[in-house]
Amino acid sequence: MALAQISTVSSPRTRSDFVVLGAWSLPRIIHGFTTRESGVSTGSYCSFNLADGVGDDANAVRANWARWHAAYPQTRVARLQQVGTLADIAIAGVHVMAAHGARPHRIRAALGPCIGRCCFEVDAELADRFVMQIPTAAACCNPGRPGKKHLDLRGIIRSQLQQAGLEKTSIVDVGPCTRCNSDRFFSRRAAGGALTGLQMSFIGFEPE
């Protein structure tokens, strides 16, 4: 996997640091992918969990958000509900951007840390649904143990984005497999299915 850029965000207010993985250096745009490092949450939420509703202590989540806002002052955050790949959300997202004037061949996409093909073994029926609904997914699917198959989620999303008009060279992978690297990234599979914290992907405009 390509890892384009790793930066450590230093907060002038708290002097705390946390790691952000990024894809590009662009004027006026802030973006990145957080890791689980350098927060205050404990246990399976250790330590930079930014998600409410996963069982973490609310005060710890607030403290982690304070750390994030200290590093990105004067930003307002709109939180989104993540929609699974089968619903073609990548293509829907490009269509919405195009409706607002974006030209798909000029859109860039960064696919952040997630479970890799190495570890994403699912029931064969689920994998077959992917292949039926997304024809290009066949190349991103290979046999696993009996009754199971491995899926390359990023590969599927990459093909969806290209189908929506993005250039192949405009789509980059950032970060490794989260399960293989569960010391740096939250991974529910690595935790045996237990609730864990969540890292965050973010993008937005630099405040004026």
Residues that bind Zn ion (CB under 5 A): 116, 118-119, 177, 179-180
Q: Which residues contact 191 (CB under 8 A, 6 or more apart)?
A: 44, 182
User: Of 6 and 180, which has the nearer Cβ to Zn ion?
Assistant: 180
Q: How far is the CB of 185 from Zn ion (least distance, A)?
A: 11
Q: How far is the CB of 190 from Zn ion (least distance, A)?
A: 9
User: Of 32 and 116, which has the nearer Cβ to Zn ion?
Assistant: 116
User: Of 158 and 179, which has the nearer Cβ to Zn ion?
Assistant: 179
Q: How far is the CB of 34 from Zn ion (least distance, A)?
A: 19
**Cα dihedral 145/146/152/156 (nearest 10):** 180
Q: Which residues contact 91 (CB under 8 A, 6 or more apart)?
A: 160, 161, 163, 164
User: Of 56 and 121, which has the nearer Cβ to Zn ion?
Assistant: 121
Q: How far is the CB of 171 from Zn ion (least distance, A)?
A: 20
Alpha helix ranges (H) inside the chain: 58-71, 89-99, 124-133, 153-163
Q: How far is the CB of 176 from Zn ion (least distance, A)?
A: 8
User: Of 76 and 145, which has the nearer Cβ to Zn ion?
Assistant: 145
CA angle 168, 174, 179 (to 5 degrees): 125
How far is residue 156 from each of residues 137, 149, 187, measured CA to CA in Å?
A: 5, 14, 20
